[in-house]
């Protein structure tokens, strides 16, 4: 159930981002970040903040079963995913300021949370790349981790560009879809375990 929740929460956040972005006057998905949808002054800021918080809470609930993807390092992977999830909750609770305004404490907390969350999900990818029992999981973690790291570098130097928002979305999507793939693979494994009479994760 918790793994299924991770998949459902990811889909809900992606849909919310697309729909709320389309409903926000003047919002440019290619240039503007997802965080801006939750900034003060946006027409549906509370809805976007709630979407971040809900996603983080559901992934937090799924952190323990996701930890099974890294044999011998389950607790480390669980902690890394949980940190990533908590960072999402904090990012929702402390929205980022709109552009061209004096920075507030909430905005600084938001930025710090995204940095911590990004580092945590990269650690999670590294753990799976090193300790996952299945080669396909290890290779996927390497590819997604490398893509995410490159995206972070590009994002750092693309501020103000017409593709700034696109780069951020690519980074977020890689992490989110990777967790979905991990959850789906573990669900398949649970299904196989049930077929063999092994109790499944709840």
Q: What is the pLDDT along the chain (202 residues), one digit of tens a residue?
A: 899 999 999 999 999 999 999 999 999 999 999 999 999 889 999 999 999 999 999 999 999 999 999 988 999 999 999 999 999 999 999 999 987 787 899 999 999 999 999 999 999 999 999 999 999 999 999 999 999 999 999 998 998 899 999 999 999 999 999 999 999 999 988 765 555 555 554 4
Number of separate domains in the chain: 1
Q: Residue 159: what pLDDT? A: 86
Is 129 a member of any domain? yes
* pTM more than 0.85: yes
What's the CA gap between 79 and 180, in Å, rounded?
17
Does some domain include residue 155?
A: yes
- Answer whether 66's CB lies under 8 Å from 85's CB: no
Report if residue 194 sits inside a domain.
no
**Is 117 inside a domain boundary?**
yes
Q: To which H or E segment does residue 20 belong?
A: helix 2-23
Position 202 in a domain: no
Would 195 be classed as within a structural domain?
no
Structural domain span for residue 112: 2-189
pLDDT confidence of residue 153: 94
Q: Is residue 23 part of a domain?
A: yes
* Residue 200 placed within a domain: no
Per-residue pLDDT tens digits for 108-148: 999 999 999 999 999 999 999 999 999 999 999 999 999 99
């Amino acid at each position: 159930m918790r793994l299924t929740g991770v998949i459902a929460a990811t889909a809900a956040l992606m849909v919310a981002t697309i729909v709320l972005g389309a409903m926000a006057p003047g919002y440019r998905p290619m240039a503007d970040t997802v965080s801006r949808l939750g900034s003060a002054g946006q027409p549906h800021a509370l809805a976007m903040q709630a979407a971040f918080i809900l996603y983080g809470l559901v992934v937090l609930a799924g952190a323990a079963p996701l930890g099974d993807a890294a044999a011998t390092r389950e607790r480390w992977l669980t902690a890394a995913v949980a940190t990533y999830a908590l960072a999402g909750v904090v990012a929702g609770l402390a929205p980022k300021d709109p552009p061209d305004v004096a920075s507030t404490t909430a905005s600084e907390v938001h930025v710090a949370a995204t940095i911590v969350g990004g580092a945590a999900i990269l650690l999670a990818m590294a753990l799976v790349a090193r300790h996952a029992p299945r080669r396909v999981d290890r290779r996927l973690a390497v590819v997604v981790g490398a893509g995410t790291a490159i995206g972070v570098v590009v994002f750092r130097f693309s501020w103000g560009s017409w593709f700034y928002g696109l780069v951020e979305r690519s980074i977020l999507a890689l992490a989110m879809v990777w967790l979905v793939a991990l959850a789906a693979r573990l669900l398949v494994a649970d299904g196989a375990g049930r077929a063999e009479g092994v109790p499944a994760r709840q």
